[in-house]
Amino acid sequence: MLRIRNLCASIDGKQILRGLNLDVNAGEVHAIMGPNGSGKSTFAQVLAGRDIYGVTADDLTFEGRNLLEMPAELRARNGLFLAFQYPVEIPGVSNLYFLRSAVNAVRAHRGLPELDAVDFLSVARTHAQKLGLDDAMLKRSVNQGFSGGEKKRNEILQMMMLEPRLAILDESDSGLDIDALKIVADGINAMRHPERAIILVTHYQRLLNYIAPDRVHVLIGGSIVRSGTKELALELEQRGYSWLEQPAGVEA
């Protein structure tokens, strides 16, 4: 589903991703872990099509399509979804209106008719309830004044509504209390599907207790320095990152 070879990204002359390789197949869950500033969010944003980075790659294909030639909105319409580490606040735009515009943009691309307001509302409410978001949250401006945890749950709500083929969740577990973590994990698990892949960016083993990953990767200094099974996450939890070698030429 996703094939990445020698992905590099830089900004303002500063190289952040340095030759990253990764393969993700449909139905799989991958976890990406790594120290602060190692490039995890940059990786996630580059996949979603953030255009502020200079990006090169020998291969960057999603379901056979070259992502390098696809603007962010087309990636989204083709089923790529990013849950932001820091969701953006959009004053004056109601969460519902935003969600509906997004869902209809994606549906239009897939040749589906627009959801009418009533159908949309009932679907949105059902998902929101599962995530513990009430009607008031749907009516408020997008993310404005939401608590950290509410923002994360709102990202998951968007994922549920948009039904992506590949979901990249950038620290969707950070800042959640124990109950919210369980709710979000349940939401993510409910999205697991043989036709869908999920990439979880996380700092904590906690989340992986709920969502068992097929592969765990360690990102340090802009490239993946180690990959393994879910046991690798446990090992990281105990030993930290220092025992893992830095790629040549990169200071810790």
Partner 1 sequence: MSAVMTEQNIYATQFSEIAGRLPGRGLAWVDRLRKTAVERFLDLGLPTTRLEDWKFTNVAPIRRLTFRPVNQVNASIPQPLRSQLDLFPSPRLVFVDGLLDRKLSGLAFGTTPPFAEERANGTPPNLGGEFLGLHLAGLSDSLADPNQAAILESHLGRYAETSDRAFAAWNTGFFADGACVMISPGTILTHPVHLVFISTGAGEPRATYPRNLILAGERSQVAVAEVFLSASGGVYLTNAVTEIVAGAGATIDYYKMECESAGGFHVATVKATLDRDASLTSHSISFGAALARNDLRVALDGEGSQCTLNGLFVVDGQRLVDNHTEIDHRKPHATSRELYKGVLAGHAQGVFNGAIIVRKDAQKTDALQRSRNLLLSENAQINTKPQLEIRADDVRCAHGATIGQIDRESMFYLKSRGLDERAARQILIRGFAAEIIEGIRVSSIRQQSEIRLGEWFEGKLEAS
> Which residues here bind ligand ATP, judged by CB under 6 A?
11-12, 14, 16, 34, 36-42, 52, 85
Stretch that binds Mg ion, among 76-84, 85-93, 141-149, 174-182 (CB under 5 A): 85-93
Strand duo 223-228 + 54-56: pairing:
unpaired
CB 33 within 8 A of CB 219: yes
> What does 36 bind: partner 1, ligand ATP, Mg ion, none (CB cut-off 5 to 8 Å by kind)?
ligand ATP
- Nearest distance, CB of residue 99 and Mg ion, angstroms: 24
Choose which of 109, 130, 206, 230 interacts with partner 1 (CB under 8 A).
Answer: 109
Residues 161, 169: Cα–Cα separation, whole Å: 15
Is there binding between residue 90 and partner 1 (CB under 8 A)? Answer: yes
Closer to ligand ATP by Cβ: residue 76 or 218:
218
- Nearest distance, CB of residue 139 and partner 1, angstroms: 12
Q: List CB contacts of 31: < 8 A, sequence separation 6 or more.
A: 199, 200, 201, 202, 208, 213, 215, 216, 217, 230, 233
H-helix segments, the chain:
40-48, 72-77, 95-109, 117-130, 135-139, 148-162, 178-191, 205-210, 230-239
Choose which of 38, 41, 158, 172 interacts with Mg ion (CB under 5 A).
Answer: 41
- Nearest distance, CB of residue 69 and Mg ion, angstroms: 26
Stretch that binds partner 1, among 26-34, 87-95, 122-130, 206-214 (CB under 8 A): 87-95
Site residues for partner 1, window 58-77 (CB under 8 A)? 71-73, 75-77
Return the C-alpha torsion angle 146, 147, 148, 154, nearest 10. Answer: -40
**Helix (H/G/I), strand (E/B), else coil: 224:** strand
Partners of 15 in the β-ladder: 10
Q: Give the CA distances from residue 102 to residues 107, 162, 209, in Å, rounded to whole numbers and listed in that order.
A: 9, 8, 32
Query: Contact residues for partner 1 (CB under 8 A)?
Result: 45, 48-52, 71-73, 75-77, 81-82, 84, 87-88, 90-93, 97-98, 101-102, 105-106, 109, 141, 158, 162
Query: Contact residues for Mg ion (CB under 5 A)?
Result: 40-41, 85
